[in-house]
A = this chain, B = another copy of it.
Amino acid sequence: MGNTDYVYPSENVERTHRVEIPPPQPFIKTFLYTLKETFFPDDPLRQFKNQPASRRFILGLQYFLPFLEWAPRYTLNFFKSDLIAGITIASLAIPQGISYAKLANLPPILGLYSSFVPPLVYALMGSSRDLAVGTVAVASLLTASMLGNEVDANENPTLYLHLAFTATFFAGVFEASLGLLRLGFIVDFLSHATIVGFMAGAATVVCLQQLKGILGLEHFTHGTDVVSVLRSVFSQTHEWRWESGVLGCCFLLFLLITRYFSKKRPKFFWISAMAPLTSVILGSLVVYLTHAEKHGVEVIGHLKKGLNPLSITDLVLAPPHLTTAIKTGIITGIISLAEGIAVGRSFSMFKNYHIDGNKEMIAFGMMNIAGSFTSCYLTTGPFSRSAVNYNAGCKTAVSNIVMAITVMFTLLFLTPLFHYTPLVVLSAIIISAMLGLVDYEAAMHLWKVDKFDFIVCMSAYVGVVFGSVEIGLVIAVAISLLRVLLFVARPRTFVLGNLPNSMIYRNVEQYQNAHSVPGILILEIDAPIYFANSNYLRERITRWIDEEEDRIKSSGETSLQYVVLDMTAVGNIDTSGISMVDEVKKIIERRGLQLVLVNPGGEVMKKLNKSELIEKIGQQWIHLTVAEAVGACNFLLHSCKPNPSKDESSGTWNNV
């Protein structure tokens, strides 16, 4: 063979393909492309292209005010549907609003205020057709617990109220900024598993809190964890009020039965939708007729007539309470954003229209900012209410307007009717709503499909129930992040084998009939190579080679000559990854083996080229497919080396 040890196969065997280095791009172009992919993956500006300026202006207006898009096409038929849906959700919104406001330690009337202004804003700015705006239990509880640490709602109700407005304002600012800065993907880091566990935990905690109302207790723990609550409940059994308890259990039973019935027969969704209002009316009548308010059954009492007073001057924008307000705003903001976005997305999936997450965030943000100026607290798109809206056949966001107008009438004329509404009915309404948030089926699905996701879910649940809502949230986010980091730090590597009678090479663990090629170790790296995993990959590849050599030694097969790295799945590489490949090459060569690369992607080839690693490895050792690489190695094995050729290995190549 002349002077060289190896003869490049192309001189003997036809070599049809080579791995190409993508044409060089100016840095600024790549940079802009990356920016676009990071912040504008849905390409929202696409429709603006090739349009005259006037049309662009209209499109821009429509972008921020989506109602401009559908309003011209709005018909009477749409309105009929929206009217029914709007009245239905209003009947749910009024008792729920009052209940959640109590949960947040805020005046009950705030629940009604919050169902008036924010839905109007959302109707103009939101792009979901099914979302019904309102307050939610988890954010209410979080507000109570985070603001409660700073100010006692009973001792200083005015300051507490103003802090709630301020927190709402900052939640809105935060939400709108996320949307404007196209950072919506931050919400994606709260994984579905996290949210299932967190929501179930929060629902459990909220239910536990209702024991106060149901049992008519006057003293209650400030803690939200299950241990404190149960200790508080059972340490004062003598204080339990049976009147309250009986009333509560009756209404809870009524609500649960209607829920169960509506779930079985979706056509009768309105039964469970109307049940809370019916309970309120029945409960108020019972108290009014029996004067139960004088026998230990607490009632709402006086509610002020009239629309939302302005609260813009009430915002607390100075220390010492500013930090708490901002913190509460950001945390409740992101939690309710996650719920609202998820709800909007689910229903848009059903009806097949597109929702722009960032645009929705701007809408949520603006609606909360407007809310904080008009005596509302944090609102979002709750799942239960939106589902009722969807089932009631809503067509557009006009159902939110109808709901707002209904609530407006209630505020103007009907508030005295709630005077005798017993708190225990509100507790029953909350418990019944919360039970829907404990999605044990989703948890079981997680267990079945992905055990790690189940662990994440349960950690969030346990954190919320045994710690506090904040602790649960921190644990959930930390575990989610840890999971991302673990994903990155520990990618999978596989040994590939040849499928019989083919030129296809696949993972031998997945394909039991794939068999290895003597003298050649084929490894697949299943993830991008970055600083976070390059040390691991180097050690793991070395271990694969060790294990293969041990195996060969004990079995007496052809000794190992080539290590083929299939880079198909290596989408990207950074400088640490490049060093790793260089080091692996050195390790392999020092053992007298040859490194062969297969199918590096565009980015990888570019960086291998720039770091001059292609020349070091040798262009002839970089192949387009595993089959070609194995072919070239086999050719060299059998023509230059004294190894006896084996049927199975040479067969593969000769078949071509």
Contacts and interface: CB of A to CB of B under 8 A. Distances in A.
Interface of A: 16-17, 20, 22-23, 27, 30-31, 37-38, 41-43, 46, 185, 188-189, 191-193, 345, 349, 352, 354, 357, 445-446, 448-453, 480-481, 483-492, 499, 501-502, 504, 506-507, 509-512, 526-528, 530-536, 539-540, 542-543, 546, 568-572, 574-576, 578-579, 583, 586-587, 590, 599, 601-603, 605, 607, 610-611, 624-625
Contact of A569 (B17, B568, B625): B568
**Of A452, A491, A532, most B-chain CB atoms within 10 Å:** A532
Contact of A453 (B16, B193, B574, B601): B574
Contacts of A485: 189, 481, 484
A357 B534 CA distance: 13
Contact of A590 (B345, B352, B571, B583): B352
A49 to B, nearest CB: 10
Contacts of A576: 191-193
Given A502-B17, A504-B624, A489 B527 contact: no
Contact of A575 (B450, B526, B540, B575): B450
Contacts of A42: 539-540, 542-543
Contacts of A599: 506
Given A188-B489, A448-B610, A576-B192, A571 B502 contact: no
Nearest to A22: B510
Nearest to A566: B568
Contacts of A587: 352
The 10 closest A-B pairs by CB, nearest first: A526-B571, A191-B531, A510-B602, A569-B569, A42-B539, A22-B510, A449-B610, A192-B576, A453-B575, A449-B611
29 contacts: A17-B504, A20-B511, A20-B512, A22-B510, A27-B451, A31-B451, A41-B536, A42-B539, A42-B540, A188-B489, A188-B532, A188-B534, A189-B531, A192-B576, A349-B586, A357-B535, A445-B611, A448-B610, A449-B611, A450-B607, A453-B574, A480-B531, A484-B530, A487-B530, A487-B572, A504-B625, A509-B602, A526-B601, A569-B571
A504 B509 CA distance: 24
B605 A574 contact: no
Nearest to A507: B602
Contacts of A625: 504
Given A507-B601, A569-B571, A185 B536 contact: yes
Nearest to A624: B504
B601 A533 contact: no
A345 B532 CA distance: 16
Contact of A536 (B43, B188, B451, B453): B188
Task: Report how many copies the assembly holds.
Answer: 2
Contacts of A450: 574-575, 578, 607
**Of A17, A546, A571, A624, most B-chain CB atoms within 10 Å:** A571
A486 B485 CA distance: 11
A506 B502 CA distance: 20
Contacts of A492: 37, 571-572, 603
B185 A499 contact: no
Contacts of A510: 20, 22, 601-602, 605
A535 to B, nearest CB: 5
A117 to B, nearest CB: 30
Contacts of A480: 531
A587 B587 CA distance: 48
B543 A512 contact: no
Contact of A487 (B22, B528, B607): B528
Contacts of A535: 185, 188, 345, 357
A488 B578 CA distance: 19
B41 A607 contact: no
Contact of A16 (B448, B483, B501, B603): B501
Contacts of A352: 587, 590
A452 B602 contact: no
A22 B509 CA distance: 7
B188 A533 contact: yes
Contacts of A607: 449-450
Contacts of A578: 449-450
A539 B41 contact: yes
A655 to B, nearest CB: 13
Given A449-B607, A487-B530, A601-B507, A574 B22 contact: no
A543 to B, nearest CB: 6
Given A41-B543, A185-B535, 8 more contacts: A41-B536, A191-B530, A191-B576, A445-B611, A484-B484, A487-B572, A492-B572, A527-B571
B527 A527 contact: yes
A556 to B, nearest CB: 19
A528 B527 contact: yes
A579 B417 CA distance: 46
A476 to B, nearest CB: 12
Contacts of A509: 22, 602
A574 B452 contact: yes
A189 B532 contact: yes
Nearest to A611: B449
A466 to B, nearest CB: 24
A488 B20 CA distance: 26
Contacts of A192: 531, 575-576, 579
A254 to B, nearest CB: 35
Contacts of A540: 37, 41-42
A150 B167 CA distance: 35
A45 to B, nearest CB: 12
Contacts of A46: 546
B572 A499 contact: no
Contacts of A603: 492
A41 B536 CA distance: 7
Contacts of A507: 601-602
A485 B486 CA distance: 11
